[in-house]
Amino acid sequence: MIPCANPAAQFQSHQAEIEAAVLKVLRGNRFILGDEVETLEKEFAEFIGVKAAIGVANGTDALELAIRALGIGPGDEVITVSHTAVATVAAIEAAGAVPVLVDVDAETFTLNARQLHEVLTPRTKAVIAVHLYGQAADLDAIDEFCVSKKLFLIEDVSQAHGARLNGRRLGSIGRIACFSSYPTKNLGAIGDAGLVATNDESLAAKVRMVREYGWRERYVSELVGRNSRLDELQAAILRVKLRHLDADNRRRQKLAASYSELLAGTPLRLPVTRKNAEHVFHLYVVKTENRQSLVEHLKAQGVQAGVHYPMPVHLQPAYKGRIRTAASMKVTESLCLQVLSLPMYPELQADQVREVVAAVKSHAAHRERRG
Q: Over the stretch 321-361, which tens digit does the pLDDT of each residue have?
A: 999 999 999 999 999 999 999 999 999 999 999 999 999 99
Same-domain status, 149 and 265: no
Query: Residue 89 carries which side chain, given as an amino acid letter?
Result: V
What pLDDT band is residue 366 in, cutting at 50, 70 and 90? low
Number of domains observed in the structure of the chain: 2
Residue 1 lies in a domain: no
Regarding whether 229 and 132 lie in a shared domain, the answer is: yes
One domain, residues 166 and 20? yes
Task: Name the 3-class secondary structure at 101.
Answer: strand
Q: Are residue 222 and residue 307 in the same domain, yes or no?
A: no
Domain edge (last residue) among 219, 239, 259 = 239
Q: What pLDDT is stored for residue 324 in this prediction? A: 98
The residue out of 239, 266, 289 marking a domain boundary is 239
Peptide bond into 259 cis (omega under 30): no
CATH assignment of the domain containing 127: 3.40.640.10
Task: Assess whether pLDDT exceeds 70 at residue 88.
Answer: yes
- For residue 107, being part of any structural domain is answered with no
Q: Residues 256, 207: one domain?
A: no
Task: Indicate whether 165 belongs to any domain.
Answer: yes
User: What is the per-residue pLDDT for 370?
Assistant: 62
Note the pTM of the prediction, 2 decimals.
Answer: 0.97
Whether residue 213 is found in the same domain as residue 336: no
Same domain for 180 and 211: yes
Q: How far apart (Å, rounded) are the C-alpha atoms in residues 241 and 248?
A: 9
- Mean pLDDT, range 308-313, rounded to an integer: 98
CA angle 55, 57, 62 (to 5 degrees): 70
Flag whether 169 is in a domain.
Answer: yes
pLDDT digits (tens, 9 = 90+) for 115-174: 999 999 999 999 999 999 999 999 999 999 999 999 999 999 999 999 999 999 999 999
217 and 345 assigned to the same domain: no
Residue 201 and residue 298 in one domain: no
| Same domain, yes or no: 249 and 207 | no
User: How high is the mean pLDDT of the chain?
Assistant: 97
Average pLDDT over residues 289-302: 96
Q: Provide the CATH number for the domain around residue 256.
A: 3.90.1150.10
Average pLDDT over residues 7-20: 97
* pLDDT the model gives residue 361: 95
* 19 inside domain: yes
Same-domain check for residues 139 and 213: yes
SS3 81: strand
Verify that 214 and 306 share a domain, yes or no.
no
pLDDT band at residue 1 under the 50/70/90 scheme: very high
* Interatomic CA distance for residues 48 and 240, integer angstroms: 16
Domain that holds residue 320: 245-370
Work out the average pLDDT over 202-229.
95
Q: Is the pLDDT of residue 213 over 70?
A: yes
> How does pLDDT run across 243-289, given as a tens digit for each residue?
999 999 999 999 999 999 999 999 999 999 999 999 999 999 999 99
